[in-house]
Amino acid sequence: GTYGIAQTVRELSVISHSQITRLYSRFHSLDKGENGALSREDFQRIPELAINPLGDRIINAFFPEGEDQVNFRGFMRTLAHFRPVEDNEKNKDPNSGEPLNSRNNKLLFAFRLYDLDRDDKISRDELLQVLRMMVGVNISDEQLGSIADRTIQEADTNGDMSISFSEFIKVLEKVDVEQKMSIRFLH
Amino acid sequence: MESYLFPFDGLLCMLLGISFTLWFTLLLIFIIVPAVFGVSFGIRRLYMKSLLKIFEWATLRMERGAREKNQQLYKPYSNGIIAKELVSLEQEIQEVRRSGIPAPEPEFDMSDIFSFCRRGVESIVDDEVTKRFTAEELESWNLLTRSNYNFHHISTRLTVLWGVGVLVRYAILLPLRVTLAFTGVGLLVVLTSLIGLLPNGWVKSSLSEKAHLMCYRICVRALTAIITYHDSENKPKNGGICVANHTSPIDVIILASDGCYAMVGQVHGGLMGVIQRAMLKACPHIWFERSEVKDRHLVAKRLSDHVADKTKLPILIFPEGTCINNTSVMMFKKGSFEIGCTVYPVAIKYDPRFGDAFWNSSKFGMVNYLLHMMSSWGVVCSVWYLPPMRREEGEDAVQFANRVKAAIARKGGLADLLWDGGLKREKVKKVFKEEQQKMYSKVLVGVSEDSRPFPVRRTSHNRQQV
């Protein structure tokens, strides 16, 4: 049941029992096929997500490479990236490794939204594709191309015409990632 | 052997006969006669008050049980379980940019993605729409298994109470209610058919009104519905359209037991068809054939014709088009607001403590739903008649519909949503995603929007914003 999973989840980050129950209830209500796992269609049934320009990329983040189903453990693991960072103060064990909701891991989550082929680099082509998702038909190819070129120029320090994860971190060092990529429970 | 069974046999028959007579006499005196005359002995309200006390006691016991085991009770929150930004997406993205001044070239910031990403994940955890299509979670337990999330906190005493509850509901209340329901519906069919034989005139319409009211009142008692009507001076008048939020088929019975309406709907076969045809004989209702429903002009014409005739009753319409779970009001279809007559809005709010009245048509059929309703404790609701509204100069049908919807939502204490109730079954239209993309493109290019960032559709995260 939920208790074994709760143990796993607590290793990943700090979530209270009632919050896990709530998320399980949510998982269950999204699972229309009632087979204990969510498919991409289950996510697309959420109207606010379906109209989000990056909806498909976000949904993709829940599914490990090559898989079509995500179970509750996987669901929680992905959501754990969005825990607020201050909750980590309770987790002082130095051997537990970097928690999923650290600043670095939040940045990695965002990096992977851009990195379509998962080769740890954002190429010009990938950047263009993501930009096209965000603007739809409202900006011409040329304008979009020059936006992509400018972005890569500003970020690229080693001259390989693509953005690596460390370059990505450098560009965003002044941004309050913790606040923008955190979801707080009300209770 | 037979000789000594005989006297018992006769005695048994006599006892059965007496109890049946007693049963029906009581039924007649306490339920049917008051229904005919529209008075009430107040039995149902007394019943409601006692039940509430029992529910409170049950919840307290469960909390005590939970505290002893050092755990927390699961408490559902329908207002949302996560904190959401009150600023719009557009404002959030604008914050990092020089505001207002159009930039010479489009400015893209790699951090723009964070806002889209977080909002997407927020909607995965808790969205405004999908939760409206399932029954609302209740905070206190009303002794029905269907609505309990804290099973492991029930003590023996509570289980006994629950058992007694089951017995009372299924052995006493259910048969009583089913009898009443059949009586009510049967009387409706018989009386309206008889009245249909009369020539059109004042006598016929007056009798028809009384017959309809009486039968609906019996049906109200068949559901043990305790209804409080507010602001009855605003009751709908002839030549107008009454619009209300829709939670279940019971809404019709609730409204029609306090006033006379012309119903609108599709022609059904079977029992429903019989009832529809009978009702039509006594006074004009509007029943459409299945094929006619698709033709919007035909529908609009028939409605306008009915409304133009001041001798005909006000039309009752539910513009949401589908049942919503009574925590919110969803998009009103503009058809009824194009007709150009007075609209009488009505807000209906069910008290969720007694049982959930929402009809989840994807899960249960109609008969299943009615049985479910008749075997629960009862239905408690409030009806507010709002002052009549007319379409104003320069307002189109959609804006008028939204204005009426906002008034209903405010009065009933429901969230006012712009989302379409049709999303229960259908996918959201692509045009809304295109609007988001257009908005972001404008931000990139540096054009600042005025006070209404989205052209037509915007979700309200927070009902207080209305």
pLDDT digits (tens, 9 = 90+) for B384-418: 999 999 998 888 889 999 999 999 999 988 888 88
Residue B224, C-beta contacts closer than 8 angstroms, at least 6 positions apart = B44, B47, B173, B177, B377, B378, B379
Q: Give dist(CA B408, CA B337) in Å, integer.
A: 15
Q: CB B413: neighbour CB atoms within 10 A?
A: 12
Question: Which chain A residues are closer than 8 Å to B106 by Cβ?
Answer: 139, 143, 147
Contact of B120 with chain A, judged by CB distance below 8 Å, is answered with: yes
Q: Are B386 and B231 in contact (CB under 8 A)?
A: yes
* B127 contacts A131? CB cut-off 8 A: no
**Residues paired with residue A185 on neighbouring β-strands, in sequence order:** B82
Helix or strand run (H / E) with residue B161: helix B156-167
The residue that leads in pLDDT, B454 or A66, is A66
The closest of B252, B248, B255 to B359, measured between CA atoms, is B248
pLDDT band at B452 (very low <50, low <70, confident <90, very high): very low
Which two structure tokens, joined as six digits, stand for B45? 């309200």
Contact of B427 with chain A, judged by CB distance below 8 Å, is answered with: yes
The residue that leads in pLDDT, B450 or B58, is B58
Cα–Cα distance list, A183 to A80, A92, B124, B125, B372 (Å): 10, 22, 11, 9, 38
One-letter amino acid at B53 equals K
* A49 contacts B118? CB cut-off 8 A: no
B289-328 as b/e, with b when 16 or more CB fall inside 10 Å?
A: eeeeeeeeeebeebbeebbeeeebbbbbbbbbbbbbbbbb
One-letter amino acid at B289 equals E
Contact of B433 with chain A, judged by CB distance below 8 Å, is answered with: yes
Q: Which of B71, B117, B428, B436 to mutate to test the interface with A (most CBs of A within 10 A)?
A: B117
Rounded to the nearest 10 degrees, the angle between the axes of helix A72-79 and helix A55-62 is: 120
Lowest-pLDDT range of A11-20, A95-104, B122-131: A11-20
* B114 contacts A177? CB cut-off 8 A: yes
Q: Are A155 and A121 in contact (CB under 8 A)?
A: no
Q: Which of B113, B131, B454 to mutate to test the interface with A (most CBs of A within 10 A)?
A: B113
Sign of the four-CA dihedral A155, A161, A163, A166: negative
pLDDT band at A85 (very low <50, low <70, confident <90, very high): confident
- Assembly ipTM: 0.89
Given a cut of 90, whether residue B147 has pLDDT beyond it is no
Write down the pLDDT at residue A18.
77
Which two structure tokens, joined as six digits, stand for A104? 């670095």
**Residues B212-253: tens digit of each pLDDT:** 998 898 888 888 888 999 999 999 988 899 999 999 989 999
Write down the pLDDT at residue B451.
35
Which of A17, A22, A113 has its CB closest to that of B113?
A113
Which of A44, A143, A171 has its CB closest to that of B106?
A143
Q: Are B121 and A185 in contact (CB under 8 A)?
A: no
Write down the pLDDT at residue B459.
42
Q: What is the mean pLDDT of chain B?
A: 81
> Locate tokens 């037509």: which residue?
B456
Which two structure tokens, joined as six digits, stand for A155? 């970020």
> Which H, E and C letters describe A67-117, residue by residue?
CCCEEHHHHHHHHHHHCCHHHHHHCCCHHHCCCCCCHHHHHHHHHHHHCCC
Own/partner contacts of B421-429, CB < 8 Å, gap of 24 or more, are B421/B320, B421/B321, B421/B322, B421/B324, B421/B330, B421/B331, B422/B321, B422/B322, B423/A47, B423/B129, B424/B133, B424/B322, B424/B362, B425/B362, B427/A44, B427/A45, B427/A50, B428/A47, B428/A50, B428/A51
Q: Give dist(CA B257, CA B218) in Å, integer.
A: 9
CA angle A20, A24, A28 (to 5 degrees): 175
Residue B250, C-beta contacts closer than 8 angstroms, at least 6 positions apart = B223, B225, B357, B373, B379
Contact of B438 with chain A, judged by CB distance below 8 Å, is answered with: yes
Q: How confident is the model over B102-117, as a mean pLDDT?
A: 78
Q: How far is A22 from chain B (nearest CA, A)?
A: 8
Residue B385, C-beta contacts closer than 8 angstroms, at least 6 positions apart = B229, B230, B231, B232, B233, B234, B235, B236, B344, B346
The closest of B359, B357, B358, B349 to B379, measured between CA atoms, is B357
For residue B363, the chain A residue with the least C-alpha distance is: A32
What does DSSP say about strands B343-350 and B379-385: parallel, antiparallel, or unpaired? Answer: antiparallel
Q: Give dist(CA B144, CA B141) in Å, integer.
A: 7
* A52 contacts B116? CB cut-off 8 A: yes
The residue that leads in pLDDT, A49 or B176, is A49
State whether residue B240 is helix, strand or coil: coil
Q: How confident is the model over A14-33, as a mean pLDDT?
A: 83
CB pairs under 8 A between A and B: 155
Work out the widest C-alpha separation in chain B, in whole angstroms: 111
Given a cut of 50, whether residue B103 has pLDDT beyond it is yes
Residue A120 phi, psi dihedral angles, 5° rounding: 60, 20
Which of B80, B123, B124 has its CB closest to that of A186?
B80
The residue that leads in pLDDT, A9 or A69, is A69
Q: Give dist(CA B150, CA B59) in Å, integer.
A: 10
Given a cut of 50, whether residue B461 has pLDDT beyond it is no
Given a cut of 70, whether residue B193 has pLDDT beyond it is yes
Write down the pLDDT at residue A52.
93
Contact of B72 with chain A, judged by CB distance below 8 Å, is answered with: yes
Write down the pLDDT at residue B460.
40
Write down the pLDDT at residue B96.
62
Write down the pLDDT at residue A56.
93
Half-sphere exposure of A141 (CA within 13 A, CB side): 1
* B83 contacts A186? CB cut-off 8 A: yes
Which of B77, B105, B125 has its CB closest to that of A26?
B125
**Residues paired with residue B343 on neighbouring β-strands, in sequence order:** B241, B389
Question: Which chain A residues are closer than 8 Å to B80 by Cβ?
Answer: 186
* B118 contacts A183? CB cut-off 8 A: yes
Q: What is the mean pLDDT of chain A?
A: 84
**Residues B30-82: tens digit of each pLDDT:** 777 777 777 777 788 888 888 888 888 887 887 787 777 766 666 666 567 78
Q: Give dist(CA A39, CA B136) in Å, integer.
A: 25
Given a cut of 50, whether residue B450 has pLDDT beyond it is no
Which two structure tokens, joined as six digits, stand for A61? 């983040």
Write the DSSP symbol of residue B42.
S
State whether residue B357 is helix, strand or coil: coil
Highest averaged pLDDT of the listed ranges A9-13, B67-71, B150-154, B160-164:
B160-164
